[in-house]
Structure formats: structure tokens, C-alpha cells
A and B are shown apart, each in its own frame.
Chain A
């Protein structure tokens, strides 16, 4: 597949994630949109690694491995992030009885 198709697909997913973060008020859905953005970037990294591989196959048969390992590490970090983030959301719910992010405006006053 031409690489631009993958770029446009990832871009669409990333933009949907951004729009979700900007328009929703539920903290959990905002968090899910962040996961969506991470996944869009992962998809683009894998597509680029395969593109790199196709181009440099004769020179280096393992070209592009680093990109996929990078995706693996992004997944590792995302898993850790989700566990801590959900703990923070549970704490938020326990304190305000809601997961609405608009209640988190104490720094404004």
C-alpha cells in the first residue's frame, strides 16, 4: 500500500482523538481518546518501519526493526500510564462524586 494512505488513516484517527479530548467532559472518555491517539501513532510507526524495510532490504535485511520495537515500548508505557491514570480517576470520583473534568477548576480561582 502507498505510505500516504497510512499517513491519512493515522491522521484521521489522531484528529478524532483530539476532537474527543476537546469536546467531551467525561474524564474516562478523554482518557480513552488519548489511547486512541497513541494507537494512531503506533500504526504510523509500524507503517513507516515497513516502508523503511522495503527500501533498505538489500543493504540491511533487518531494517525497520527499531520502529516496531519502539511501538512495543510505547505499548509498555501506555499500560503503565493507564493503571496510574485510572487510579487518579477513581480518586477524583471519590472526592467529587463525579468524573466531570469541569469540576477540576480549583486552580482557576
Chain B
């Protein structure tokens, strides 16, 4: 077993285990912390695939900014003391069953696909580096990049409008 395989399997186990703990833990704060562990594992996968830019962006944007936002909202609402009402047992079982069926269907459909010869390149290749991605982003994809700034502006305006206290929300 090579080092790459050991890293791949340990990162995968970390990602799947902490993702399971996200949906199993009772306390929302614990869920957020396990989700951060999942994102760190996924960042590790990106770095293993030599997509270093995405690995760092995933770490900063997801594990850093977005998760802090989640944690901030949970603490603001003081949710950790709330008891979450349990969903109906049958509904829960139906949810797990349908998720498992989806997994089964896709795995079964992938079984027949020719993929044994296809390999994802790890540890090398320069397409994930900042130089190459930046060059493409600012030449071929400069218009989507600018539109993304408009998207952020509208998201900011939307968040402010939603968060503002109005007469209708007070009633």
C-alpha cells in the first residue's frame, strides 16, 4: 500500500465518519464542529489531488467563514439548550431507506460502467496551482467572475433586507 492510498483511505474514513456524526449528534454546536472536520478532510483530498488553490479556498471559505457564520447564528439563538423534537420514527426510517436506495441505485448503475482504466492523477500536475487557475479565470472566465460580484452584492442586500426589523415581522 503506497502512501497515497493510505492518505486517501484515512482521509475518506475521516470525512465519512465525521459526516455521519454531523447528522447523528443531538447538539447543533457539535454538528457544526464535525462539519468543520469533514471540510478539513475534503481539503486534504484536494491537496492530495494537487488542487492546492481549491484546498486552501475550501479551508478559508468553508471551514473558516461559513462555519463561523453557522456557529454565530446557533449561539445567537441559544439553540444548544433547546431540545429538538424527534421526527416520527416511520418518517425517519423512510428517509434513511430512500437515501440507502439512492445509494444502491447509483452504485448498481456504476458497476457496469467502464472505469477500471480511468485514474485520477494525484500528487502531480499543475492545473490546480494558482498560476494556471488565475490565468484562466482572468482571461476566459472574467465575465462570470464579474457577475459573481453582482451576485454577492445582491446577497448582501438580501441579507440586510431580511435581517432588518420591520413592522410586519414584529406582529
Contacts and interface: CB of A to CB of B under 8 A. Distances in A.
A29 B132 contact: no
A99 B31 contact: no
Contacts of B102: 15, 18
Given A1-B4, A16-B16, A23-B23, A35 B66 contact: yes
A65 B141 CA distance: 11
A79 B61 contact: yes
A11 to B, nearest CB: 6
A20 B22 contact: yes
The CB with the most chain B CB atoms within 10 A, among A12, A72, A90, A91, is that of A72
A45 B163 CA distance: 34
B61 A75 contact: yes
Interface string A30-53: 011101100100110011111101
A43 B162 CA distance: 32
A104 interface: no
Interface string B41-56: 0100110011101100
B162 A68 contact: no
Contact of A78 (B66, B119, B133, B137): B66
A89 B73 CA distance: 9
Nearest to B165: A94
Nearest to B153: A80
A93 to B, nearest CB: 5
Interface string A54-72: 1101000011111011011
A3 B120 contact: yes
B82 A86 contact: no
A68 B128 contact: yes
A94 B169 contact: yes
Contacts of A73: 144, 148
B83 to A, nearest CB: 11
Contact of A32 (B22, B107, B148): B22
A94 to B, nearest CB: 6
A5 interface: yes
Given A75-B62, A100-B85, A26 B96 contact: no
A64 B127 contact: yes
A46 B133 contact: no
Given A1-B8, A50-B125, A84 B28 contact: no
A54 B22 contact: no
Given A2-B118, A4-B115, A24-B23, 5 more contacts: A28-B28, A46-B128, A62-B132, A76-B152, A102-B85
Q: 3 closest Cβ contacts across the A-B interface?
A: A22-B95, A20-B23, A80-B155
